[in-house]
Structure 1
Amino acid sequence: MRILLANDDGIMAEGIYTLAKELEKDHEIIIVAPDVQRSAQSHAITLGQDLIVKEVELEGLKSKSYSVSGTPADCVRVGLEVLAERQIDLVLSGINFGFNSGMDILYSGTVSAAIEGNIYKIPSIAISAEVKEGNARFDIAAKYTRQILESSMDKLVKSNIVLNINVPYRDEEDILGIKICKIGGPIYDDYFMEHSETGEKVLKLKGRKDMEAEEATDRFYLNEGYVTVTPLYYNLTNFRLLEEVKTWI
């Protein structure tokens, strides 16, 4: 299978390297990733300026790799329209340094790169790994990605779908299994304010507010020690209210 691999952590990130190393054993991989870290870019694309594309050699990988001076969505567009020499079967994005669960998927460049592939009618997967004390188990996340891919490959490549995978920071024997589930709600950022010498007010992010996870959601199962898989749907039309709103206007 021919796979386009992107991310939002940048071309030199450990997560994308680990995933490529695992998957290129059996698949044809092309890596197209931002030249620098581009987290929380959501689905932004670059307009009004040129994109710089460079071929990059990643030691230990046989796959062709390219950096792009743009967003994660830019990387997928460039990969599919310019760099891929043959039809791509699947777009993978990750492995992200940190969860992309709950409503955080709206801000995530990792998830948006997968959705960009899906806009081209290519099935896509976003993969993210929990961070603890500055570390992530990319090795475990790569193994589970491979397992999920192998078990669903036949149906996945025939579907226009996005899967969002999150993997907790645990040894393989301590992971309780895989849960197919819905996304949870938001966790709100916590800010504090400082005053600068010029009189400006400066807001700094100091963390996230601790909120209880709703049962049967990705955040709930991740806390329990499961790998979570959520199928995503990016059409934002509220079809239930479509006819009702027609009567308003």
Structure 2
Amino acid sequence: MRIMVVNDDGIESDGIRRLAGMAAELGEVWVVAPRHQCSAMSHCITVRGSLHVKEENFPVPGVKAYSVDGTPADCVKVGIKYLLPQKPDIVFSGINCGYNVGADILYSGTVGAAMEALLNGIPAIAFSEERGGSGAAADTHLLPVVRKLLSMEIGKDEIWNVNFPGCPPEELQGIRENRIPDRIPFFMDDYRVEEREDKSFCLFVSGKAAQTAGKGTDMEAVLERYISIGKIRNEVLGSRSDG
């Protein structure tokens, strides 16, 4: 199996190293990732100018890795069209530092990269975990979760979306499948205002994490310390197949 690994946190992130290490147990791995942090890029692509591509030393033996001075979706495009000798069999995107649940998936560069794979006819799985968590749930369950998902059918207009809570292993409650995205974002916008002498003002942006969630949603699962597994549909591809 030929696997392309991408993310939105950058080529040097801990999450992509761990994901590539797991992927290496399943087949041939190519890493193509942004040179810099690209969170919340969604499906943004570069349409003018240039993309600087550089081969990188990657801390997983046997893995070929490149950085791209572009967005996560750019990385998928460049990997498919210029770097890999043949199309990958699957794209793994992540492990993102921070949940991609609820309405936040609309902004996610992790999900955007997975959707770009889908547009090129390649199945994809997006992985995320709680920001600031231990990472133990992902490290323990990543490989068995992936093996299970690879054995399951999914529509050509859908990706898998997997989120790991950041609790210690002994506090993990299990796995919840068939989770639907909540209608609200996990991080609610919070702005701190600073007035300026010229009568303008500056907004300092942060987010307040949700404390409650809808029944049956991805957000409910992670808040209750379950691994959340669900599908996200690409409406463009879905409408094409429906019509």
Tell whether the structures are fold-level matches, with TM greater than 0.5: yes
Deviation at 1:140, TM superposition (A): 2.9
* Residues 88 and 60 (structure 1), Cα distance of their counterparts in 2 relative to 1, 3 Å cut: closer
Greater displacement, 8-17 / 185-194:
185-194
Mapping 1:197-236, distance limit 5 Å: 197-208=197-208, 210=210, 212-235=212-235
- 1:56 paired with 2:41, answer no
Between structure 1 and structure 2, the one with the greater Rg is 1
For residue 140 of structure 1, give the secondary structure of its aligned residue in structure 2. helix
The answer for the alignment partner of 2:145 in structure 1 is 148
For residue 79 of structure 1, give the secondary structure of its aligned residue in structure 2. helix
Map Cα deviations across residues 23-69 of structure 1 (whole Å, 9 max, x no partner).
21331110000001000011100111100000000234320000000
Q: Residue type matched to 1:183 in 2? A: P
Q: Determine the C-alpha separation between the residues in 2 that align with 1:86 and 1:236.
A: 25
* Residues 203 and 128 (structure 1), Cα distance of their counterparts in 2 relative to 1, 3 Å cut: same
Q: Is the 8 A contact 2:53 2:69 kept in 1?
A: yes
* Residues 158 and 223 (structure 1), Cα distance of their counterparts in 2 relative to 1, 3 Å cut: closer
Q: Determine the C-alpha separation between the residues in 2 that align with 1:26 and 1:100.
A: 24
The answer for the alignment partner of 1:6 in structure 2 is 6
Mapping 1:115-130, distance limit 5 Å: 115-130=115-130
- 1:176 paired with 2:173, answer yes
Deviation at 1:115, TM superposition (A): 0.8
* Residues 203 and 238 (structure 1), Cα distance of their counterparts in 2 relative to 1, 3 Å cut: farther
TM-score scaled by structure 1?
0.88
- 1:162 paired with 2:162, answer no
Q: Residue type matched to 1:229 in 2? A: I
Deviation at 1:18, TM superposition (A): 0.9
Map Cα deviations across residues 156-214 of structure 1 (whole Å, 9 max, x no partner).
58955300100001223322221121111223311122112333211111432645211
Q: Determine the C-alpha separation between the residues in 2 that align with 1:62 and 1:166.
A: 27
- 1:65 paired with 2:70, answer no
Q: Is the 8 A contact 2:181 2:218 kept in 1?
A: yes
TM-score scaled by structure 2?
0.90
Q: Determine the C-alpha separation between the residues in 1 that align with 2:231 and 2:217.
A: 12
The answer for the alignment partner of 1:244 in structure 2 is none
The answer for the alignment partner of 2:94 in structure 1 is 94
Q: Determine the C-alpha separation between the residues in 2 that align with 1:155 and 1:211.
A: 32
Map Cα deviations across residues 134-168 of structure 1 (whole Å, 9 max, x no partner).
x3334531442311221232345895530010000
Q: Residue type matched to 2:117 in 1? A: G
Deviation at 1:121, TM superposition (A): 1.2
Q: Is the 8 A contact 2:137 2:172 kept in 1?
A: no
Q: Which sections of structure 2, spanning at least 5 residues, go unmatched?
A: none
Q: Residue type matched to 1:163 in 2? A: W
Q: Determine the C-alpha separation between the residues in 1 that align with 2:150 and 2:62.
A: 23
Q: Is the 8 A contact 2:158 2:234 kept in 1?
A: no
For residue 91 of structure 1, give the secondary structure of its aligned residue in structure 2. strand
Q: Residue type matched to 2:197 in 1? A: E
Q: Is the 8 A contact 1:189 1:209 kept in 2?
A: no
Q: Determine the C-alpha separation between the residues in 2 that align with 1:112 and 1:28.
A: 23
Q: Which sections of structure 1, spanning at least 5 residues, go unmatched?
A: 240-249
Q: Is the 8 A contact 1:130 1:169 kept in 2?
A: yes
1:185 aligned residue (179, 183, 186): 183
